[in-house]
Structure 1
Amino acid sequence: MSNNNDGSYELMLPPSDGISSLNFCVNSNLLLVTSWDTTVRCYDVSSNVQKWEYSHESSAILDGVIPEKNRVYSSDIHGKIKSYDVTSQTVREIGAHEDGVKALVYNPTTQGLYSGSWDGFLKTWDTRTPSSEVAKYNLSSKIFTMDGLKNGDYHLVVGTADKYVTIYDSRAMEVPLQKRESSIKYQTRCIRTYIDGKGYALASVEGRIAMEYFDTSAESQAKKYAFKCHRVVENGIDTVYPVNSIAFHPVFGTFATGGCDGNVFFWDGANRKRLYHLKRFPTSISSMSFNSDGNLLAVASSYTYEEGEKDHPPDQIFIHNINESKIKPFTK
């Protein structure tokens, strides 16, 4: 285990190509990692060992969720969605889309799975039955990102290529609660919902974050704002980097952002303050995830091809020990 002075260490045996997602299992230090190398891997970050892996054969994997230690769901670039039973080591195909499935969200209340695809459809699946497609909804544009259904909240938020954000009530999916045009004029890269269920943060390719609220009242909408981040002045030129990942701290509601500049910043959204900055990583930050206790942050340093094909550092996963005093929100 390689430890750094900032309290972080590198996971051993990372994927060999393009880390697409990191997700901690609830109430454990098991980390699910999906990759363009066609594998889904699980690591116990406490002991820095890989526990198991399975493959989507020849298909790059775009997302994965691990709602329980023995149950996993993953999606790939050819539209297939699979489940993996860790105990029996068996893989089952749940269903498919016509194009790559970019985002998965699991509903712990109903055991339902939501899949968002580049084919423009949002589908719902009942994971308890073999023929499990329940419904599908046409969003008429590629789905790039999706989040929600945390801590008993019922909101499901979907970001599409046409820069719209569609907000659903998971208890009544037939008609969206709201459909909004993004307040940021450039392409949406990542959406993550607040831990209190009141809204969401949206990241763009243009190095901005928008802080949004579900409540449409004038009072709530007056709280929303956007800010610049992941920008540096190099040789007198303001260089802008896409923001690939947002991760909310599960206890304090502050959050981390990771960009193509290789930086991770921590923010207090409610008080509009930057908290602190991790060391610069070797290449783009493709994904991040806090564990349930909020004392660990997993960071994927993995080139995201924003500058096309070129030589780049190998894919790496770093586990950062969180200093609670640095992640707490400002007190007024």
Structure 2
Amino acid sequence: MAPSTQFEVAQPPNDAITAIVFAPDFPNRFLVSSWDKNVYLYEVVDGAEQANLIEKFEHRAPVLDVCFGATHEEAFTAGLDHQVSRIDLASGDQSVLSKHEKPVRSVIYSPQHSILVSASWDNTLHIHDTAPNSSHPVLTIPLPNKPHAMAASPSKLVVAMTARLVHIYDLPTLASALASPNPPSTIAPWQQRESSLKFLTRAVSCMPNDAGYATSSIEGRVAVEWFEDTAESQARKYAFKCHRQQDESSGGGDVVYPVNALAFHPVYGTFASGGGDGTVALWDAEAKRRMRQYQKFSDSVAALAFSGHGKYLAVGVCPGFETGMEDYSGEGRAHVLIRELGETEAKGKGSK
């Protein structure tokens, strides 16, 4: 069995990292978005313990999120310039798909339904048809509150908002409405839920088997829930404390950190969490246990992503806001690390 290895990516962003994502059809390629107004495209070199910067794509304002499209040559971004943009990663050409009235927090592409969803602080979702020369107008869905995190499974879209609201949308319904010659003025969510966590949601990630999702909060907790709306299924949901450190100065109390990032392993269905305490942990959702915790990084863990084949875990590290914003400086302190996982490192107790 090959041992796990870990290395740092050369030429990282110059400021805080906002998102990391691997390509769906090219597992060694990944994108990183940053407050430095750039999106970075890297490629891991197998067996060489290195990842090379292929290109970076400058934007007008800090980029808050990025995702790949249908292939590794297409990407979509969301940012403080209020725009949802498309990047042709081969040519470098950029185009604007839509404009929100306020910054765009999240952007997600659904390969199963060929639609792009953006979530903005103007309290709307935009549903885009990304097909070349599409004549379908952007579909706008109003939200009751400001969205803070969004994730998609093969059939569901999970949007977490302020006031502990969670809306779950049916992706086939969204795709059908977008393609309709007379699209509806609004679309009701498939389910409306109240978060199992008492504090603001920080991250959301969906299970690869389409069964449910995990959310994390600014108050060192993670909740795991299932989509199926039955009493039996809902009885399975649970939440737990994590990313806390003992405060020796206060006689044994905990220092609580935000859980900034979540990512499910695409093969085994276990998941990783990253926190403001500078650590990454692997969890078995079914067995409800922590499998392992990695060494402490130099700063807060801001973003996590598994590659499509599950071989690599990318970790974005940069200063967080744990000590307040007055002395915040992310410049020159952002790092991207790649962990090549051992063969069964992310395998849960019940995994085959």
Tell me the residue number matched to 2:166. Answer: 165
2:203 pairs with 1:190: yes
Task: Tell me which residue corresponds to 1:227.
Answer: 240
Q: Could you list the per-position Cα deviations for residues 52-72 of structure 1 after superposition, in whole angstroms to 9, with x for gaps in the alignment?
A: 111112x00000011312111
Determine the structure 2 residue equivalent to 1:104.
Answer: 107
**1:53 and 2:56 aligned:** yes
| Runs of 4 or more consecutive aligned structure 1 residues displaced over 6 Å after TM superposition | none
2: CA distance, partners of 1:217 / 1:99: 37
Give the Cα–Cα distance (whole angstroms) in 2 for the partners of residues 19 and 142 of structure 1. 21
The DSSP-based 3-state class of the residue aligned with 2:344 is helix
Q: 1:10 corresponds to which residue?
A: 8
The residue that corresponds to 1:23 in the other structure is 21
Q: What is the aligned partner in structure 1 of residue 72 from structure 2?
A: 69
Is residue 2:260 matched to residue 1:247? no
Partner of residue 266 from structure 1, selected from 278, 282, 296:
282
Does 2:125 correspond to 1:122?
Answer: yes
Is 1:324 the counterpart of 2:340 in the alignment? no
How far apart, CA to CA, are the structure 2 residues paired with 1:294 and 1:287? 16
Whole-Å separation in 1 of the counterparts to 2:135 and 2:13: 32
Look up the SS of the partner of 1:65 in the other structure.
strand
C-alpha displacement of 1:306: 3.1
Q: CA deviation at 1:303?
A: 1.5
Query: CA offset at residue 201 of structure 1?
Result: 0.3
One of 132, 139, 154 as aligned partner of 2:143: 139
CA displacement, residues 10-37 of structure 1 (integer Å, 9 cap, x when unaligned): 0000010111000000132111010000
* RMSD, aligned α-carbons: 1.7
1:6 Cα shift? 6.4
Tell me what 2:95 maps to.
92
**Shift of residue 86, structure 1, vs aligned partner:** 2.2
- State the Cα deviation string for residues 205-233 of structure 1 (Å, max 9, x = none): 11001111111111111111001100111
> Residue in 1 aligned with 2:36?
37
1:179 alignment partner in structure 2: 192
More divergent stretch after superposition (77-86 vs 28-37) = 77-86
Percent identity for Structure 1 against Structure 2: 35
Show the counterpart of 2:116. 113
Equivalent residue of 1:297, what SS?
strand
1:238 is paired with a residue of what secondary structure? strand
Distance in 1 between the 2:104 and 2:236 partners?
A: 33
Give a deviation string over 1:67-102, Cα, whole Å, max 9, x none.
312111111112111111123221111111111111
**Deviations 1:102-124 (Å, cap 9, x if unpaired)?**
11110113321100011110110
CA distance in 1, matches of 2:134, 2:14: 32
Distance 1:169 1:331, change over 3 A: closer
1:284 and 2:290 equivalent?
A: no
Q: Greater relative contact order: 1 or 2 (C-alpha under 8 angstroms, separation 6 or more)?
A: 2
How far did residue 331 of structure 1 move? Answer: 4.1
TM-score (norm 1): 0.94
Deviation at 1:167, TM superposition (A): 0.3
Q: Deviations over 1:28-52 (max 9, x none)?
A: 2111010000001100122521111
Distance 1:62 1:132 in 2: 26
Q: Give 2:320's aligned residue.
A: 304
Q: Which amino acid aligns with 1:316?
A: H
Between the aligned partners of 2:169 and 2:78, the Cα distance in structure 1 is 21
- For residue 45 of structure 1, give the secondary structure of its aligned residue in structure 2: strand
Structure 1 portions without partners, runs of 5+: none
User: 1:63 corresponds to which letter in structure 2?
Assistant: D
Shift of 1:194: 0.7
C-alpha offsets along residues 262-283 of structure 1, whole Å, 9 cap, x if unaligned?
0000000100111001111110
How many residues are paired up?
A: 324
Equivalent pair of 1:263/1:277 in contact (CA under 8 Å): yes
Greater CA deviation, 264-273 or 322-331? 322-331
Quote how far apart the aligned CAs of 1:324 are: 2.9
Following superposition, the deviation at residue 142 of structure 1 comes to 1.1
Q: What is the rounded CA distance, in whole Å, between the counterparts of 1:132 and 1:50 in structure 2? A: 35
